[in-house]
């Protein structure tokens, strides 16, 4: 009975770790554009494509 519970717990830990890893990657990409990362949204002042 312990193995299915352990599997679910490990999957949840891996999922949450993946979310934090992806959010960190997005924040770094936003900073590379010169943007401001707040509450999961990157705001870039001006036109970043010039």
> Could you report the per-residue pLDDT of 1-50, keeping only the tens digit for each?
778 999 999 999 999 999 999 999 999 999 888 888 888 888 887 655 55
In the chain, the number of structural domains is 1
Looking at the domain assignment, is residue 31 inside a domain?
Answer: yes
Q: What local confidence, expressed as pLDDT, does residue 15 receive?
A: 97
Q: Does residue 26 lie in a domain region? A: yes
- At 36 the three-state DSSP class reads strand
pLDDT at residue number 11: 97
Domain carrying residue 33: 2-43
> What does the pLDDT read at residue 49?
56
Cα-only R_g, the chain: 17
The answer to whether residue 17 is domain-embedded is: yes
In whole angstroms, how far apart are CA 20 and each of 10, 23, 29? 16, 5, 14
List C-alpha distances in Å: 14 to 5, 28, 49. Answer: 14, 21, 35
**Residue 7 domain-assigned?**
yes
pLDDT of residue 6: 94
What's the confidence (pLDDT) of residue 41?
Answer: 87
User: What is the predicted pLDDT for the residue at 47?
Assistant: 59
Burial class, 48, CB count within 10 angstroms (exposed 0-12 / middle 13-18 / buried 19+) = exposed
């Amino acid at each position: 009975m312990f193995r299915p519970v352990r599997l679910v717990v490990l999957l949840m830990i891996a999922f949450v770790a993946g979310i934090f890893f992806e959010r960190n990657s997005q924040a770094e990409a936003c900073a590379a554009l010169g943007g401001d990362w707040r509450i999961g949204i990157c705001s870039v002042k001006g036109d970043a494509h010039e």
